[in-house]
Amino acid sequence: MSPQPIPMDPKTILDIVIKRRWIVMIPFFLAMVVGIVLSVKLPRIYEASTLILIQPQKVPQNYVQSIVTTDPGERISTLSQQILSRTNLEKIIEEFQLYKGPEFENLYVEDKINSLRRNISVSVSNDKRRENDAFTISYQGKDPQRVMRITNTLSTFFIDENLRLREAQAVGTSDFLDDELTVMKKRLEEVETQLKNYREAYMGELPEQLDSNLRILDRLQAHLGEIQQSMSDAKIRLATLQNEAAALKEQPAKVITGGTPSAESNDLDQLQAQLENLLTRYTERHPDVLRLKARIADLQKTSQSQPVADQPAAGQGASASESPEIRAQYNEIVEEIRRIERDIADTTGQIGIYQKRIENTPKREQELLSLKRDYDNILATHNSLLARKLEAEIAVNMERKQKGEQFRVVDSARLPEKPIKPDMKKLFALVVGAGLAVGGGIIFLLEYLDSSFKRPEEIESDLKLPVLCMVPEIISRRTRMLRTIEHVACGCFAFASLALFAGFTTLYLKGVDQTLNALKIWLG
């Protein structure tokens, strides 16, 4: 006979459960026992957490710009690596006497540090409702009191290390700027010395002296023109004086035919003076200069063609007829001519000097421009470094006075009351579900494998015969007694199972430690 399908109506399922009640109660009872044992015997792990808020600097950034500009997440990651280093974790292990006992005797130091590091977690949270960033430090352990103390110690480490790190970064930046400022100041002094030496070496040819040189050159040229005119006047006066002296002489050579040498000599001197005056203003190719030179050449040829005897006579007549007054005037005019000639030579030399200075000014301007460009660049860099150095010093003072960005504990670690491991919620659901599932699975398997008829409808459908009547089971007195005993035992067992379930529920809702402490107080 093939197995009959199991009906799924509630009455039938209830009848099956009542019929096979022991199969339901025994797995459930054992599951409750296992759950209570696991709840009591499994190591309880507690977790304490502290929330730290990242506060911005107290001084407005418009007044003091912070030089620690790293992202808070990156800085927290750096701080985590430093605080979770071997040295700090060894201090925590020694301070709180962690991993002490016979079970940890064979445990290496590296294993202790790695175990402690795994129990510490740092998580950064960016809450959109909160303007500032925050992060949480958590620690897990078996002793609630120790867990709380270690968590608070870690938060103190983070705050102190953040202050030390920010101050170290600010001081390092300030020292770096100080060193760079010293180097730049030395370069600036070198360029200033070069610029000073250059100005001293080429004083008078500098671009800013060009206007002054041009004005001085104009005055010198005007002065040269004046003294040249004075030279011309002096020569004319000298020639006039000579003519007057010649007119006063009594020369017998006046009757001699062939010309007057004294007059020609005076004319020649005047023409020479005029030529010199023209040469100061014009070149030798000027028409007036050429015409005057030709006239001078004709007079010189005429004077050379005169008889030799007449010339000494004229000279002797002049020497004999000169008066002291004419001689004094003559000497005065000659001295004046010599003084004017010296003045002309000196002025011409000064003009040459200033002309050379003016000609060299563009060259000096280019050279000086190159030096000033280097000087301006170095000066700008020096001033920028100086301003940043002052800002860095202010930022260092701000960090030392703890006015910069800080970590502030919002929620300090408290004594954990409920362990996070084992997870009683998951354990409760797993144990209760396993107890019911095992019993239900066994009942389903037995019912599925049972091929006997359970209802009249099954007989009619299987044998194709109608059921005429049903005879009830005849129960003997012994059987009735055994069933009564079985019912009482089943009730006691069900009561025990429910009691265990109630105890397990209490452990889940109230906590293992609280329940055990209450039980000890009640029993004691």
pLDDT at position 64 is: 65
Using alpha carbons, select from 408, 392, 406 the residue that is nearest to residue 66: 392
Q: Which of 145, 144, 138 is nearest to 116 (CA)?
A: 138
What is the 8-class DSSP label of residue 3?
P
How far is it, in rounded angstroms, from Cα 445 to Cα 447? 5
Q: Which residue spans of the chain are classified as CATH 3.30.1890?
A: 46-181+388-411
Report CA 77 to chain centroid distance, whole Å.
19
Give the Cα separation of 25 and 479 in Å (integer). 22
Both structure tokens of 378: 């170095």
Report pLDDT digits (tens) over 242-252.
Answer: 887 777 764 44
What pLDDT is stored for residue 403 in this prediction?
Answer: 67
Asked if 141 and 119 count as a contact pair (C-beta separation under 8 A), the reply is yes
Q: Could you tell me how far CA 60 lies from the centroid of its own chain?
A: 19
DSSP structure class, residue 471: P
Let me know if domain 46-181+388-411 sits in CATH 1.10.3720. Answer: no
CB 164 within 8 A of CB 83: no
d(CA 24, CA 12): 16
Q: Give me the pLDDT at residue 77, please.
A: 79
pLDDT of residue 317: 37
Other CB atoms within 10 Å distance of the CB of residue 402? 13
DSSP string, 398-440: HHHTT-SSEEEEEE------S-SBS-HHHHHHHHHHHHHHHHH
**120 three-class SS:** strand
Distance between CA atoms of 64 and 404, rounded to whole angstroms?
Answer: 10
Q: What is the pLDDT of residue 10?
A: 76
- What six digits make up the tokens of 3? 């197995």
Q: Distance (Å, rounded) from C-alpha 161 to C-alpha 148?
A: 20
State the Cα–Cα distance between residues 268 and 373, nearest whole angstrom. 62
Task: Tell me the H-state helices in 131-143.
Answer: none
| Sheet containing 120-125, strands listed edge to edge, beginning at the edge strand earlier in sequence | 120-125, 134-141, 46-55, 406-411
For the stretch 450-454, contacts whose Cβ atoms lie closer than 8 Å and that sit 24 or more positions apart, written own/partner, are 450/3, 450/4, 451/1, 451/2, 451/3, 451/4, 453/4, 454/4
| Whole-angstrom distance, CA of residue 229 vs CA of residue 231 | 5
Q: Please list, in sequence order, all residues whose beta carbon lies within 8 angstroms of the beta carbon of residue 258, skipping any fewer than 6 positions away.
A: 306, 307, 310
DSSP label of 45 = B
pLDDT of residue 296: 80
Report the pLDDT value the prediction gives residue 59, as an integer from 0 to 100.
67
Per-residue confidence in pLDDT tens, the chain, 524 aa: 445 555 666 777 787 778 888 888 899 999 999 999 988 888 888 899 998 887 777 666 565 666 666 666 677 777 788 788 888 888 888 888 888 888 888 888 888 899 889 999 888 776 555 445 788 899 999 888 999 999 999 888 888 887 887 778 888 888 888 999 999 999 999 999 998 998 888 888 888 888 998 999 899 999 888 888 888 888 888 888 888 777 776 444 433 334 444 444 446 777 777 777 777 777 777 777 777 787 787 777 776 655 443 433 333 334 434 567 778 888 888 888 889 889 999 999 999 999 998 999 899 889 888 888 988 999 999 899 888 888 888 777 777 766 666 778 888 888 888 888 888 888 899 999 998 899 888 888 887 777 766 666 777 777 777 777 777 767 778 888 888 898 899 899 889 999 999 988 988 888 787 888 888 888 76
Cα–Cα distance list, 517 to 40, 266, 379, 417, 514 (Å):
12, 150, 79, 12, 5
| DSSP of 226-241 | HHHHHHHHHHHHHHHH
Contact 378, 194 (CB under 8 A): no
E strand or H helix at 55, and its extent? strand 46-55
